[in-house]
Amino acid sequence: MTSQTIPEARVRSAPDLGVLLTGAGALLLVGSALLPWAGYAGFPGKMTLSGYPGGARLYVLLLALPALALLRPLPGRAAALRAAANVELAVVALTVYFVAYAGGGFVNVGGGVYPAMIGAILYLVGSRRLPTSEAVAEGVALPDASWRFPVESLVVAGTAGLALWLFVIGLGMPSSSIASGSDLTLGPLSINDVANSGQFLAYVITIAGVALVAGRLGLLKSLTIMTGRHPKLFVAAGFIAAAAFPFTQNGSGESLSIAARIGVFAAAAVGLNIVVGLAGLLDLGYIAFFGVGAYFGALVSGSVTSVTGVHLPFALTIVLGGLVSGIFGLLLGAPTLRLRGDYLAIVTLGFGEIFRITVNNLDGSAGPSLTNGPNGVSNIPDLALGSFNFGANHTLFGIDLSFQSNYYWLELLLLAFVMTSFLRLSESRIGRAWVAIREDELAAAATGINTTRLKLLAFALGATLAGAAGTVNAHVVKVAAPDSFTFIESATLLAAIILGGMGTVPGALLGATVLYLLPEKLRFLHDLRLLVFGIALVLIMRFRPEGLVASKRRAREFHDHETDPAAEAVA
Amino acid sequence: MSVLEARAVTKRFGGLTAVKDVDLVVNEGEILGLIGPNGAGKTTFFNCLTGMETPTAGDVTYKGAPLPKRPDLITKAGVARTFQNIRLFNNMTALENVIVGRHTRTKAGVFAAVGRGPRYHREERESEQTARDLLTFVGLGRVGDELAKSLPYGDQRRLEIARALATDPGLLLLDEPTAGMNPNETAAAIDLVKGVQARGIAVVLIEHDMRFVFGLCDRVAVLVQGQKLLEGSPSEVQSDDRVIAAYLGKPTEAETAGDKQ
Ligand SMILES: Nc1ncnc2c1ncn2[C@@H]1O[C@H](COP(=O)(O)OP(=O)(O)OP(=O)(O)O)[C@@H](O)[C@H]1O
Ligand SMILES: [Mg+2]
């Protein structure tokens, strides 16, 4: 009775220490974002300006915003703020490090750095002290009946657009002067190179952090439910946004060219996902099939450096390239797939190396002249479809488009085809048989599945898709050379699907993007790159073993103990 | 009319003869019990029939034709089985498990799956409908969307039967279908097996629960140390001294004649 008469203000009058600390930290961080962080010019984001949250300061600001939740106890608030504080500290520390490093020492940092560091620590400590006995976040209530469709479609399409927009920003961020390929030795780097790398890292970490916070607040759950209800819309919106990308580039082709390469890499990753994610076959030499396609495409491209002198129409090249690669897959798989899984890994690993060494040696001196040895088949001419020349810049709807957009769209078509194949296969009789084999091969055989044949099918199909992607890649990068097909490439593709989430398409896309971009943007790390890369993978596997975007099946596989209440009720 | 005829099936593992010269005839529409002490070779005999093990000697015909060698072809021919230690596709749903059972009876290949014409959709619908009907038949109609591994033990056994039935078998081999079941579930299993029989499917079942066996089976065969001791109606087998001796461990003729282990 009496408790009801106590004025609300009195109840709230003793704010929790955690709330105070978190709030103070957030305020300091917001303030710091408006102060200069660098005492010297040249760091990206106009870091010497005050009153302007440019560069990484924007991320600092963004990650302090969840503190607004302190004003109202939302479910999942404490967990969300803890995540925000963790990521905030990482971003602040990283940016301070890069500002100091690029400026030649800590003495050259700006005044905003100090409140930022204190703020980040308060934020972290405070968020740990927030009361946690709050309800689990259930996300926003989904709109009712008549409103549901328009609202949901908007959210779903918006999400697809937002994802692409973020991707495009990341792509467009200046990075260190990139030569080509994956060589690890680099000359001295300029201040700008270092600063740009730092800026990019902070960007990626911030996106991950925002996603994490959204997840803790239950927003991702709502989003997943909505996209699950309109999968076609989601995909369509994604593709329309992706197809529109070249129109935003003002005739420049740099980002488009990187995007096209990522796309081909992603297509290969999705293909590998059939072999590994669905059928559960460990293929450690997958890049060799990509290489077979690339060399095939290069040899029949009409390039002056090709010994064949043949010039096939590209539509035929892509099909034949896939077939040739698929035949290699059959030849390799037929004898090995009868054996246990581990043998396949060893044989494919060997095949990958044999392929690389062979094309390295087919230069006319050690063997027949076919591949020009280490130089590869280069100067691959631009594609032409009828009178449409892929190598020329075009103008569409009054907007200038660099020639790279043609290749970008070609890659997008390839990706669309590979993704459609994957999705449709995975939910078909064939896909179910693959998963059954992965689950229990003996039981699958007893259920009437010809396990050898289906494994061979998965293997050859993966090889075919890789081969098709390879022919496209040869025309995008204009060369097919042995050093693009090393074991590390196979391992990276494999890492992409494990990181992104086995057996899912968005996972493969995300994994491929991250794994392609990170090494490019982290060149300042030199040889340490692979180490950092490895540590990142270990961390992800530790904290999210099912990958970033888990299929429903795998999520449940790895998080058994966190029982699903629905499953429990039936059990 | 016989469905299955096994003649002189023998399986040796190195020096151990797990199954020795076993003849067995399964008649159309009957329920045949296969009993015997632990290690008698019952599961090994099933393995020989279903291609999981290659018999050292002997031959098996199904509906007059020699049984193929590969497990998937045997299933396609019409012999389906369940396993003593349940082997489901754990991370697939119950429904998916049963749909996988339709594999041999459906056709869609890679092109059909990617192209998705009307025939593909029809086949998928039919598979799903058959699977749902079978789930209902075994009493799992409401748990189709659960992961197989999250089902209780008894349900998993029934799901395995549904998956086997989805292959449209003429003969179903059940390896200890009531192991781990409580009395209620065992009673339900009796009805289930009778229901399978009513579908015109012959059943051979391995069981240790004697009340279950003698209450359900039309005929019973006894396997001891790899050899068939006798075969007959439940009452004949029940009253045979040698069977009791075999279970209690008293040496008998058959045992001394059997291989030394
Ligand atoms: N793969 C194998 N390799 C070697 N020995 C085996 C193998 N499989 C079975 N055995 C042996 O064959 C004999 C028969 O085993 P089996 O599993 O067929 O018996 P069972 O009648 O099914 O027994 P239970 O009632 O305990 O299931 C046992 O001695 C067993 O150890
Ligand atoms: Mg057994």
**Candidates A440, A448, A567; nearest CB to B75:** A448
**Which residue stretches of A51-133 are H helix?**
56-64, 77-102, 113-128
Query: Are B57 and B10 within 8 A, CB to CB?
Result: yes
**Is the domain of A68 the same as that of A158?**
yes
Tens digits of per-residue pLDDT, B36-68? 999 999 999 999 999 999 999 999 999 989 999
Place of tokens 């039919």: B126
pLDDT band at B114 (very low <50, low <70, confident <90, very high): confident
Chain centre distance of CA A495: 11
Phi-psi region of B41 (alpha: psi -120 to 50; beta: other; left: phi over 0): left
CB–CB of A421 and B142 under 8 A?
no
**Whole-number pLDDT of residue B260:** 44
Given a cut of 70, is residue B15 above it in pLDDT?
A: yes
**Is the domain of A30 the same as that of A149?**
yes
Torsion of CA A223, A227, A230, A235, to 10 degrees: 140
**Is the domain of A189 the same as that of A281?**
no
User: Which residues on chain A are in Cβ contact (under 8 Å) with B51?
Assistant: 445
Q: Cα(A202)–Cα(A26) distance, rounded to whole angstroms? A: 18
By alpha-carbon position, which residue is closest to atom 28 of ligand 1? B39
Q: Cα(B189)–Cα(B154) distance, rounded to whole angstroms? A: 9
**Whole-number pLDDT of residue A206:** 87
- Which domain, by its residues, includes A220? 16-228
**Is the domain of A368 the same as that of A447?**
yes
**Whole-number pLDDT of residue A404:** 76
**Candidates A428, A446, A449; nearest CB to B81:** A446
Tens digits of per-residue pLDDT, B140-154? 988 888 899 899 989
Q: Which of A171, A202, A228 is the last residue of a domain?
A: A228
State the number of CA atoms in the 13 A half-sphere of A71 facing the CB: 5
Test the A interface: residue of B79, B82, B87 with most A CBs within 10 Å? B87
**Is the domain of A96 the same as that of A166?**
yes
**Whole-number pLDDT of residue A387:** 67
Q: In this structure, is residue A41 part of a structural domain?
A: yes
Q: In this structure, is residue A568 part of a structural domain?
A: no
**Is the domain of A482 the same as that of A555?**
yes
Between residues 456 and 515 of chain A, which touch chain B (CB distance below 8 Å)?
457, 461
Given a cut of 90, is residue B138 above it in pLDDT?
A: yes
ipTM: 0.91
**Is the domain of A224 the same as that of A277?**
no
Q: In this structure, is residue A411 part of a structural domain?
A: no
Query: Are A412 and A246 within 8 A, CB to CB?
Result: no
Q: In this structure, is residue A402 part of a structural domain?
A: no
Q: Which of A228, A253, A283 is the last residue of a domain?
A: A228
CB–CB of A449 and B103 under 8 A?
yes
Q: Cα(A95)–Cα(A63) distance, rounded to whole angstroms? A: 14
**Is the domain of A60 the same as that of A129?**
yes
Torsion of CA B126, B129, B130, B134, to 10 degrees: 170
**Is the domain of A542 the same as that of A466?**
yes
**Whole-number pLDDT of residue A266:** 87
Q: In this structure, is residue A420 part of a structural domain?
A: no
DSSP 3-state assignment of A560? coil
Q: In this structure, is residue A11 part of a structural domain?
A: no
Q: Cα(A54)–Cα(A66) distance, rounded to whole angstroms? A: 19
DSSP code, position B224: E
Side-by-side strand order, sheet with B57-62: B16-27, B2-13, B57-62, B65-66
**B243: nearest Cα among B216, B214, B222:** B222
Q: Which of A173, A203, A228 is the last residue of a domain?
A: A228
Q: Which helix (H) or strand (E) holds B27?
A: strand B16-27
Low-confidence ranges of chain A (pLDDT < 70): 1-15, 42, 45, 132-147, 174-193, 250-251, 253, 302, 304-307, 340-341, 364, 366-367, 369, 373, 386-387, 390-396, 398-401, 520, 522-529, 549-571
**Whole-number pLDDT of residue A392:** 66
Indicate whether residue B101 lines ligand 1 (CB < 6 A).
Answer: no
**Is the domain of A220 the same as that of A275?**
no
**Is the domain of A173 the same as that of A286?**
no
Q: In this structure, is residue A258 part of a structural domain?
A: no
Between residues 135 and 164 of chain B, which touch chain A (CB distance below 8 Å)?
142-143, 146-147, 150-152, 163-164
Burial of B201 (0-12, 13-18, 19+ CB in 10 A): buried
Q: In A252-313, where do the E strands start and end?
A: none
> Six-digit token pair at A39?
């005492």
Test the A interface: residue of B82, B89, B142, B146 with most A CBs within 10 Å? B89
CATH no. for B2-78+169-260 = 3.40.50.300
Total of domains in chain A = 2
Q: Cα(B137)–Cα(B131) distance, rounded to whole angstroms? A: 10
Indicate whether residue B86 lines ligand 1 (CB < 6 A).
Answer: no
pLDDT band at B173 (very low <50, low <70, confident <90, very high): very high
**Candidates B73, B110, B167; nearest CB to A447:** B167
| Distance between first and last Cα of chain A | 43
Query: Are B258 and B227 within 8 A, CB to CB?
Result: yes
CATH 3.40.50.300 spans which residues of chain B? 2-78+169-260
CB–CB of B103 and A447 under 8 A?
yes
**Is the domain of A218 the same as that of A282?**
no
Residues within 5 Å of ion ligand 2, judged at the Cβ atom: B 43, 84
**Whole-number pLDDT of residue A238:** 78
